[in-house]
């Protein structure tokens, strides 16, 4: 990712190719990221029938209709994720992919997944995106960032200030010249340090509602009108 870009991060399945094209038409410095969940099964997705019961685990607490996946079963999951990357992301004109909910091993998934197995799945997801010519970001996996930095092009971390984990991204992604986006929901980011480290930090509402909705919160460490650290 180059500096001075305007980035949009949108749900890949729910966003049309027309919307992606309209965003790109706003200017040459627009980057549109395709979001989808790669580590959980969601009972409201159009491809839900492709997931056999053997890969569906315990509920992802706090998110209705979402259940952890047995990411050890790559032979089942990777073809599904590849099709999502093609049909929800690449074919619609997205520039990059954000695979979410991929830190399964440290959650109560119902499966005895190890960190090594979790990292292997993340690396496989990154390889799939790159094989399609798309940029891919590490979403979450804060404590694993140093182990995964060489496989991902940028990172999006939630609550790394709250849990004192932002240093892990400074020493990995930032050190290698890769962009890091940070969102906090329960506490204000350390903007002084974030700006010094060149981590793009902001505070947002958990539901990520639009500007006209009740509960909207957007407090970036650097104003959107500012193009330098």
What the chain holds in terms of domains, given with CATH numbers, is: 6-220 (3.20.20.70)
**Which token pair is 184?**
């906090």
| Mean model confidence pLDDT for the chain | 96
H helix and E strand count, the chain: 6, 11
pLDDT at 4 over 90: no
Q: Can you spell out the DSSP letters for 189-207?
A: --HHHHHHHT-EEEEE-TT
pLDDT at 27 over 90: yes
Per-residue model confidence (pLDDT) at position 1: 42
Per-residue model confidence (pLDDT) at position 3: 58
What confidence tens digit (pLDDT) does each residue in 121-163 have?
999 999 999 999 999 999 999 999 999 999 999 999 999 999 9
Per-residue model confidence (pLDDT) at position 228: 85
pTM: predicted TM-score of the whole model, two decimal places? 0.95
**Which token pair is 21?**
């094209």
Instruction: Compute φ and ψ for 143, nearest 5 degrees.
Output: -75, -15
Per-residue model confidence (pLDDT) at position 90: 98
Average pLDDT of the segment spanning 188-206: 97
Distant-in-sequence, close-in-space partners of 22: CB < 8 Å, separation ≥ 6 = none
């Amino acid at each position: 990712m180059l500096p001075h870009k305007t980035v949009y991060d949108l749900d890949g399945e729910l966003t049309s190719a027309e919307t992606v094209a309209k965003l790109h038409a706003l200017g040459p410095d627009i980057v549109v990221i395709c979001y989808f969940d790669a580590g959980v099964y969601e009972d409201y997705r159009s491809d839900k029938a492709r997931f056999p019961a053997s890969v569906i685990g315990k509920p992802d607490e706090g998110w209705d209709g979402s259940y952890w996946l047995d990411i050890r079963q790559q032979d089942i999951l990777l073809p599904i994720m590849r099709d999502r990357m093609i049909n929800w992301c690449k074919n619609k004109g997205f520039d990059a992919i954000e695979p979410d909910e991929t830190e399964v091993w440290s959650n109560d998934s119902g499966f005895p997944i190890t960190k090594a197995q979790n990292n292997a799945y993340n690396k496989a997801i990154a390889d799939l995106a790159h094989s399609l010519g798309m940029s891919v970001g590490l979403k979450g996996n804060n404590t694993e960032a140093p182990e995964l930095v060489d496989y991902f092009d940028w990172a999006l971390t939630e609550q790394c200030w709250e849990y004192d984990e932002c240093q892990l991204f400074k020493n990995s992604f930032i050190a290698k010249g890769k962009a890091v986006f940070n969102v906090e929901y329960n506490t204000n980011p350390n903007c002084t340090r974030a700006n010094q480290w060149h981590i793009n930090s902001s505070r947002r509402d958990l539901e990520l509602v639009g500007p006209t909705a009740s509960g909207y919160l957007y407090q970036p460490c650097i104003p959107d009108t500012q193009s330098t650290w």
